[in-house]
Amino acid sequence: MKVEIRARAFAPWEELAEHQAHLPPGSYGACAAFVGSMRDFNEGERVTAMTLEHYAGMTERQLRQLTGDAARRHGLLDALVVHRVGALQPNEPIVLVAAWSAHRAAAFAACAEIMESLKSRATFWKKESTPGGERWVEKNTPGANIE
Amino acid sequence: MKVEIRARAFAPWEELAEHQAHLPPGSYGACAAFVGSMRDFNEGERVTAMTLEHYAGMTERQLRQLTGDAARRHGLLDALVVHRVGALQPNEPIVLVAAWSAHRAAAFAACAEIMESLKSRATFWKKESTPGGERWVEKNTPGANIE
Amino acid sequence: MSVRIKCFASLRQRLGIGQTELAHRRGMTIGDAWRALSEEPPPENLLCARNLEYADLQQAVEDGDEIAFFPPVTGG
Amino acid sequence: MSVRIKCFASLRQRLGIGQTELAHRRGMTIGDAWRALSEEPPPENLLCARNLEYADLQQAVEDGDEIAFFPPVTGG
């Protein structure tokens, strides 16, 4: 299980492939993954840049807890979480979550659950730059319910 | 939207990154992806090889229909489905499904829905080679319910 | 006046039929096509297609159709 | 005898406090720490942490603790 905070742009699918290459071949039958990236448009306004603030120390701790909880609950073989902080440009990845398991139900459920827990508990805050100035994002969009 | 049948091994995360590179930058905020791959163990026995038979013509048609249906229902920006046929070795990818949308709920739900529809409707059949001989896989493992 | 028949996977092996042709008859159904292939009753979990779309045994067969029989699918 | 206080995001900007120290008092709660920072009542959606774990305003503060105040999180 790996959880990382990144201060620079990252290539999520390459990170995922690289991480997966270290898993025992033939052990997993399913990998569910999610990548959230920066849109250039939000709540009716053009977004030209974004800053992601976080609570260093608490963020890593919360991410490890919530990822570990989901991994145990769903019997995952492995999980990977990478989250960006700092100054972002449109189209840059914000978060990568991946979950490996024997069969698909656990991978899907765990990946979605990690994303929802991350959105509600991990100590990150987005500030958007728009033509009208800077604004803190006040709340997240609704997520998915996976059973 | 792209749907493809492959007769040779493929690198799913590279395919995904390559496909995504052609989407308008900043247009999508979410990509949910799933990769199913060949395990070396199933139903209590070691699996040394697998053959994936399919109904050429009907498979592509069913995949296009079910992917298009999910894309419309969830308002996806794009979707990608790649499915392997022929002779497979353990650890080789069988299927890649990816769904791009503005926000995460649609991407997660559509990706899971495409996988479930594909499992129940797309005309593929798995035959496993085990130390005890060859056997047709009779039914799929249960899937995920995503709302 | 003919109908193309295809069988897949375990059913193809059991019937020993991958692809064949049947004469088309007026009023023919997919069930009639099955009976022309096998003396066994259709398996409970049998799936059928007509012209690349799922169909059932009651459905009519037109001249020139492609009819397929196969077990539950196991892709993905 | 002191408690480290951190504030984040819009709350950090509004209070003009990123990090500060408060004297620790016996029986001190997280709510007491808030009142030492601001004359405003705690915002309805205020989140608090004690030593990197979520906490609430009623919770006791020990000497040497790190207490944090922040608005709803918006990562992912």
The DSSP secondary-structure symbol of A50 reads E
Is residue A62, in this structure, part of any structural domain at all? yes
Is residue A102, in this structure, part of any structural domain at all? yes
Is residue A141, in this structure, part of any structural domain at all? no
Tokens (6 digits) for D36: 């030492």
The DSSP secondary-structure symbol of C18 reads S
Under a CB-based contact definition with an 8 Å cutoff, are residues B131 and B45 in contact? yes
Is residue C62, in this structure, part of any structural domain at all? yes
Q: Report how far residue B13's alpha carbon sits from residue A49's, in angstroms, rounded to the nearest whole number.
A: 27
Residue B147, pLDDT above cutoff 70: no
How many Å lie between the alpha carbon of B67 and the closest alpha carbon of chain A? 17
Expressed in percent and rounded to 5, the helix, strand and coil fractions of chain B are 30, 35, 35
Q: Report how far residue A52's alpha carbon sits from residue A64's, in angstroms, rounded to the nearest whole number.
A: 19
Terminal CA-CA length for chain A: 22
Is residue C75, in this structure, part of any structural domain at all? no
Residue D40 phi/psi, 5-degree rounding, is: -70, 150
Is residue C20, in this structure, part of any structural domain at all? yes
Q: B144 contacts in A (CB within 8 Å)? A: 104-105, 108-109, 146-147
How many separate domains does chain A show? Answer: 1
Q: Report how far residue B13's alpha carbon sits from residue B45's, in angstroms, rounded to the nearest whole number.
A: 29
How many Å lie between the alpha carbon of C76 and the closest alpha carbon of chain B? 5
Select from C10, C68, C73 the Cβ nearest to the Cβ of B124: C73
Record: contact D76-A36, CB cut-off 8 A: yes
Residue A107, pLDDT above cutoff 90: yes
- The pLDDT tens digits for D52-66 are 999 999 999 999 999
List beta partners, residue B33.
A33, B98
C47-50/C66-70 β-pairing: antiparallel
Confidence of residue B20 (pLDDT cuts 50, 70, 90): very high
Any residues with CB less than 8 A from the CB of A22 and at least 6 apart, and which?
A: none
Is residue D76, in this structure, part of any structural domain at all? no
Nearest to D70 by CA among D11, D1, D2, D5: D11
Q: D6 contacts in A (CB within 8 Å)? A: 55
Is residue A26, in this structure, part of any structural domain at all? no
Q: What is the mean pLDDT of chain B?
A: 95
Is residue A145, in this structure, part of any structural domain at all? no
Is residue A24, in this structure, part of any structural domain at all? no
Residue B145, pLDDT above cutoff 70: no
CATH number of the domain that C28 lies in?
3.10.20.30
Is residue B47, in this structure, part of any structural domain at all? yes
B41 near A CB under 8 A: yes
CATH number of the domain that A87 lies in?
3.90.1170.40
What is the average pLDDT across C35-56?
97
Length of chain D: 76
Q: Element (H or E) spanning A59, and its range?
A: helix A58-74
Is residue D50, in this structure, part of any structural domain at all? yes
Confidence of residue B80 (pLDDT cuts 50, 70, 90): very high
pLDDT of amino acid A141: 78
Record: contact B83-C76, CB cut-off 8 A: yes
**Touching subunits for chain C (3+ Cβ pairs under 8 A):** B
How many separate domains does chain D show? Answer: 1
What is the average pLDDT across B106-113?
98
Is the model more confident about B49 or about B143? B49
Is residue A108, in this structure, part of any structural domain at all? yes
Residue B34, pLDDT above cutoff 70: yes
Residue B51, pLDDT above cutoff 70: yes
Domain containing residue C56: 2-70
pLDDT of amino acid A44: 87
Nearest chain B residue to C7 by CA: give it. B55
Domain containing residue A6: 2-19+32-136
Find which of B39, B77, B117, B137 to mutate to test the A interface (most A CBs within 10 Å of its CB). Answer: B39
Is residue D75, in this structure, part of any structural domain at all? no
pLDDT of amino acid B146: 53
How many Å lie between the alpha carbon of A31 and the closest alpha carbon of chain D? 19
